[in-house]
Structure 1
């Protein structure tokens, strides 16, 4: 009977050891699957994040900001200069044409000025359009406008190619 009991104990121990080994194998497989799943999840999230960053959408094409301000001229005179600016913005006049038209109008109105400065297409890069803040009184007349080309920076940064336009009467 003692031999039978010893034999039964050995079989019981073997069974417990086999069950323990199988259980440990199951735990190890679950840990491996869990870790592998997390790595794939992180990789998918990183890929999605990179895709969003690589698919930069430039600021849409067109005028984004445009402001004028007046100094020592009347509101009627400012309105006339604003009209010249609008024609220039639409492409009906070159920079030099606008400058000449402004000087001609100022001369007709008997307004003394020191200088008229006109610049279009001042190349710049923006990730977002800044606010244009002009104040009445600093010059006889001021215009600042920002036009987006709708194109991403050719160097690949996440900025849009824009043109700064300005006209100042001092």
Structure 2
């Protein structure tokens, strides 16, 4: 009788091991899926107010804030530089084109400068658009603008992908 029980248990060992491995695999897959799910599971204690906050809406696409300021240049010269900035914002000029046009204009006007810096690639994430504060004076000319892509952060935080654009003449 003992031999028959041992033989039966050996016969059932393989299927039991296979079933156990399959069950563990199913559990692991479910854990992986739940950890990588884009939807946040709703807890029993979540109130309707909390679920409203989870419906994040990105900041709309487009220019949100922009300002210019002048230092030791005239208002007419600032207006000319503002016009170059507007062309750049519309996509009519690259960063390097704007930099070259600002330097050319400053040279034509006989204005000494140390450096011109231009960038439209200041990648940032905002949940709300900050204030842009520029003071007159200091630099010859300053521009700062914030452009929203209208898209949520791809890493899942409730922030919108934006670009800080800037142009400075020192």
Q: TM-score, normalised by structure 1?
A: 0.72
Q: 1:155: how far off?
A: 1.0
User: Alignment partner of 1:139: what SS?
Assistant: coil
CA distance in 2 between counterparts of 1:163 and 1:74 reads 29
Partner of 2:124: 124
Name the larger-Rg structure. Answer: 1
User: Alignment partner of 1:77: what SS?
Assistant: helix
Partner of 2:85: 85
* Cα deviation 1:82-101 (Å, max 9, x = unaligned): 00000000000000000000
How many residues matched? 128
Cα RMSD (Å): 1.5
Partner of 1:14: none
User: Alignment partner of 2:145: what SS?
Assistant: strand
CA distance in 1 between counterparts of 2:92 and 2:55 reads 36
Q: TM-score, normalised by structure 2?
A: 0.72
CA distance in 2 between counterparts of 1:46 and 1:137 reads 52
Structure 2, gaps ≥5 residues long:
1-42
CA distance in 2 between counterparts of 1:152 and 1:60 reads 10
CA distance in 1 between counterparts of 2:46 and 2:134 reads 43
Q: Which structure has more helix as a fraction of its residues? A: 1
- Structure 1 runs of 4+ with >6 Å offset: none
CA distance in 1 between counterparts of 2:59 and 2:51 reads 18
Q: Tell which deviates more after alignment, 111-120 or 51-60.
A: 51-60
Aligned counterparts, 1:6-155, within 5 A? 43=44, 46=46, 48-155=48-155
